[in-house]
Amino acid sequence: MKPHRKIREERLKQPLKQLPTLKMKLITATEFNEVFNYFFDYFGENEHFLQLGEPTRHELLEKVLAHSVKSILGTDLIVIRNGIFIRLQEQRFIHGGCNLNGYIANFFYFDDIDSGMLVLASPPYEQETKFVRFSLQTLGQPSGTQSN
């Protein structure tokens, strides 16, 4: 086994140790796709991580997610369907996914720094992925948006 593969496998077995790195990437990112690549690599498909946490409701987070995509999608009517919100209480971390007006959305949010990120995967006929960095402080403009 290659050394870098062994290191990655060890990291996958201890996903909570990767949260500080994800948080730092979120804070310092200029290329949002790199943040979500890290999230998906170490958390999104990690069996150990996906078994952690408890389902939750977070009405303010739902409102901010909907508000954050209004300008991107060009509509004031945002419908959230099939929302899954998972809270890791001790880590003050929420992650999940939903459908926003036909777009598949994944997100994560760090409560302790009031910062999170959302990715929208376009319907099959579009070739664009949209990223939004957000805060719950205000329902004003999102703190950053990018498209790929």
Model pLDDT for residues 57-70, shown as the tens digit of each residue: 999 999 999 999 99
Rg (CA), the chain: 15
Mean pLDDT of 78-104: 93
Residue 115 has pLDDT above 90, yes or no: yes
Structure tokens at 140: 């004003």
pTM as predicted: 0.82
Question: Could you identify the residue written with the tokens 């290329």?
Answer: 31
d(CA 105, CA 116): 13
